[in-house]
A and B are shown apart, each in its own frame.
Chain A
Amino acid sequence: MAQLDALRCSSPADYIQIARRLRKSGTDCWMRLAVLASHSIQFLDAYLVVASNRARFPVDPWFAPFGQIEEQVLPAISEFWRMQPGAIWISLRLEDVERWLPDEYYAVGPDGAEQKIRALRDRLVRVVREIRMRSASTILVSNFASPRLDSLDPFSASQPRSLKHIIGAANRELAEALTSFNDAWVFDYAGAVSARGSEEWSDACMDYVARVGIAPKNMSALANRFVRCFAATQRPAAKCVVVDLDNTLWGGEIGDDGLEGIHLGQDYPGSAYRDVQMFLKGLRSRGVLLAVSSKNEANVAISAIDTHPDMVLRTRDFANLQINRDPKPDNLVRIARELNIGLESLVFIDDNPVERAQVRIELPMVCVPDMPIDIGEWLRTLEQLETFDRPGMTAEDRQRADMYTANQERRNLERSATDLDGFLSSLEMVAWVGLCDDQNFNRIHQLIQKTNQFNLTGRRFSSEEIRSLAGSAGSAVAWLRLKDRYGDQGLVCVGIVRDTGGGIWNIDCLLMSCRVIGRRVEDAFLMYLREIVAGRGGCQLRGKYVVTGKNTLVANLYREHGFLPETLGGNGSGEIGSYLRSVNDEGWAWPLAIKRE
């Protein structure tokens, strides 16, 4: 890349030489770009040739004679029409046509200024209309800028009808006017001036010598910016971004570091990873699909995506997830096929240069940007990727990502959940909750001894133990009774919570009668346990799952209810999985279908 860096310091002569060589290598598939301008824009020739070749959308510029716009477009026959350009750039500048407007503004007043600029805008619209009647070529129209104004009148921004604001309004009106025409776009010349700095935008000597209008040092930047916009109007936009997970959406490796070990959150570097996710979420709302290609255990990765509290993206935001040990190029092919899009519309984002290289080699049509080593620089790199440029956006674009919501099972679940909500409401459930007393002691004891399936620990507390726990300030024995439209179901839930110090209360017992499985009764009961613990000054609930051989039904219960694993386990009999949840986090909710008495 030393040559590219050198190119940046190159003189106009170097650019001329390179453009000449590029032309010699054959211009057959170059698009003819007709440029009509109010200034000596032909000095941009070599820069346009070099920039457009680098962008792989080579243009062969043709420049109308100085100042000739209508003279070339309106007649039936002209050099412009003989050219049959594939693309057209019109640069009718305020600086050239109304050179003294910033100085005359106070004499002509806002009305006068508006009139002058509207006249220019009308000229442009008329020219675009004429072109459009006779040709389908892409048209780019420079908007208005006044580089002198910022230095001349720093208070222009302070007056509501100042020249600065009139120019801004005229630019907006120009954008509106062009929406009536197909494939006609504003080229943000004002933005180009702003990006480089208006103070040294033009070179007075060059202007006097040749009406160049732009300082030579800004020509490369202007040409690059123009080519970027032009390429965006020609190139089909990226349709899907495929991202890695480890060290891309979060810092660290989920398989090794676990949910607690990965970096994702409010503090750096976790905040930088969140920013990357926010950027991707923004892309999704613009109609770009998101997909994952990651070398991980699928359930571990998906669980992380869906349960980590600082994840911005969840599995439903991805149109496709390939989490396996397969080579990434294979995954990309699969993604393209399953989403029914071409490989050339994929963008692959991965922190690992080896993975990037493999994709580049095997799938050269996929866009694989180089990513910085430091995650802190990722957002800027992503923002500057031209592959996401889109001249316009339709309502269809905005909705596209939602149409591809991944995981059809989850989709179906959501659909049936709506039906389930209806069903549960129809049950007319009412719940009572309370703490163990003499009246329901026996039933509680019975449930503890009998319940196998929906029993998180399988521990059979003795009568003495129950009494002891019920009577202590550092523990509680709780119950829930349920009634529905079919009758009184009696006591259906039992839970025992115990203060272990440090604000953490263990759920030593959590069980529920099979009779009421699938009705979200456990959601209500957990809410009640939380209420007890919070009321006694506790901060966190620790749920334990002990494998008993009969209770696989509830292996994921805590995970499904917003608890985070403290240690992973629960694979073999007797192994314990331990999960934590803060009593203060916002997700706690009493299920709507159950009325509380």
Chain B
Amino acid sequence: MSPVEAVDGGISLQRMNTSIDDQIRSIFINTLELPLENFDLNLKRDDVESWDSIAHVSLVMSIEHVFQVKIRPQDATQLKSPRDFQEKVRGLLADRQDS
């Protein structure tokens, strides 16, 4: 077993069967290294030290990857909390279903 398999605790497999909320939570926790109990949908970007511009772009990348959506640059800068991301994702998925 390579070192990679040893540490990958099946995070990716977990992802497959979870809800939108769970996946968003997972993305935030992994990207920002947040303890599970600290996660809150209303968390503010300014309040989290690890949520710098690089992390922000990573969050957007992961959201786009997991939900297969595209977030416009002008919208991306407006997302300041997990809830903002959640609403954005829901909106984009709904748009896709309508079209």
Contacts and interface: CB of A to CB of B under 8 A. Distances in A.
Interface of A: 2-4, 6-7, 9-14, 16-18, 20-22, 25, 40, 42-43, 50, 53-54, 56, 58, 205-206, 208-210, 212, 216-217
A487 to B, nearest CB: 77
Given A20-B33, A205-B70, A209-B76, A3 B15 contact: no
Contact of B11 (A14, A25, A209, A210): A14
20 contacts: A3-B10, A4-B4, A4-B5, A6-B16, A12-B61, A12-B65, A13-B28, A21-B7, A22-B3, A25-B3, A40-B54, A43-B58, A50-B4, A53-B2, A206-B61, A209-B60, A209-B77, A210-B53, A212-B57, A216-B61
B89 interface: no
Nearest to A5: B12
B12 A12 contact: no
B72 A7 contact: no
A43 B3 contact: no
Contacts of A42: 54
Given A18-B8, A53-B4, A13 B27 contact: yes
Nearest to B31: A13
A193 B4 CA distance: 26
A208 B31 contact: no
Contacts of B31: 12-13, 16
Interface residues of B, number: 37
Contacts of A206: 57, 61
Given A3-B8, A56-B2, A205-B70, A43 B57 contact: yes
A22 B4 contact: yes
A62 to B, nearest CB: 14
Closest 9 CB pairs of A and B: A6-B12, A17-B30, A21-B7, A13-B62, A13-B30, A11-B62, A11-B65, A13-B27, A216-B61
A17 B66 CA distance: 15
B62 A12 contact: yes
B3 to A, nearest CB: 5
Given A42-B54, A205-B73, A10 B12 contact: yes
Interface hub of B3, B13, B71 (most chain A Cβ within 10 A): B3
Contact of B12 (A9, A43, A56): A9
B26 interface: yes
B65 A217 contact: yes
A207 to B, nearest CB: 9
